[in-house]
Structure 1
């Protein structure tokens, strides 16, 4: 009888633990209206920081030193998206320095999107771009060093 008294709380604990379901891994339904609209490029971050405009101050955000760099992302309620960005010419100089300039051309892209768990997925042909939504900012982090980009951030207009 003593063994039963000792085992009963353990059995009850196991039963309660196994009976409880966890929704931690269940997808969170997000409100698509949070991402539908027009977004403007607010940050285009690079590593290592550069002094693009030769004012003696380096920065990680190209947009603070190169005002011609711009981009727009439009998320449509029908599940489509399109973007236009000014093309950049990034040329290595030496010792981790790069010459970064805007070209006179822009690139456009379009595709379909999905939004779940505060993550916006943009599908472009066979390429997937992931953006995390935080407030009115969408951030795509790639963590690439120059001539690639660390991250890009769009703000909702």
Structure 2
């Protein structure tokens, strides 16, 4: 009888330990329907802020200064994506100032995607672009100063 009294707590401990197994760290797979659809470029942020249109107000979001700067991202349910973004011409002037203009061309890209842990991964050949998904917004943050971009934000249509 003494052995059974010792064995029962040991068995209970083993069941509790098994309930806390390592599968708790398994990645969370998100609902792909949340990202499937058409997304519009809502922000294209730069650093340092610039007064691109010459109105006396500097801003970090190029889209508020250049209405011609547009982009669309299409996430398809078959695991593919495509995008069309107006190309920008960025020229260094001096003293942290840049001339930024829309070109007459667009950049068309496509590839495959994966959505996990609220992060959308877009694969373009061997290049990976990561977007964080939050409140129907996709944000890619690179934290680059001009002539690069700090971040780009897409909003679902």
Q: After the TM superposition, which residues 136-155 of structure 1 pair with which residues of structure 2 at under 5 Å, given as runs?
A: 136-155=136-155
TM-score scaled by length of structure 1: 0.87
The equivalent of 2:57 in structure 1 is 57
Mapped pair 1:34 → 2:34: yes
The DSSP-based 3-state class of the residue aligned with 2:33 is helix
Give, in angstroms, the shift of residue 135 of structure 1: 1.1
Instruction: Tell me the equivalent position of 1:74.
Output: 74
Give the total of aligned pairs. 145
Partner of 1:83: 83
- Taking only aligned residues, the RMSD between alpha carbons, in angstroms, comes to 1.7
Cα shift readout 1:90-119 (whole Å, capped 9, x = no counterpart): 000000000000001101000000000000
Post-superposition offset of 1:18: 5.6
CA distance in 1, matches of 2:88, 2:43: 14
Q: Deviations over 1:106-143 (max 9, x none)?
A: 01000000000000000001100000000110000000
SS at match of 1:121: strand
Q: CA separation of 1:80/1:18 partners in 2, compared to 1, >3 Å: closer, same or farther?
A: same
Query: Which runs of at least 4 in structure 1 moved beyond 4 Å after TM superposition?
Result: 14-19
Q: 1:31 and 1:51, CA in 2 relative to 1: closer, same or farther beyond 3 A?
A: same
The normalised TM-score by structure 2 is: 0.87
> Would the alpha carbon gap of residues 61 and 17 (structure 1) be closer, same or farther in structure 2, given more than 3 Å must change?
farther
Secondary structure in 1 aligned to 2:25? coil
Partner of residue 4, structure 1: none
Deviations 1:46-79 (A, max 9, x none): 0000000011100000000000000000000000
Equivalent residue, structure 1, for 2:112: 112
Inter-partner Cα distance in structure 1 for 2:98 and 2:122: 29
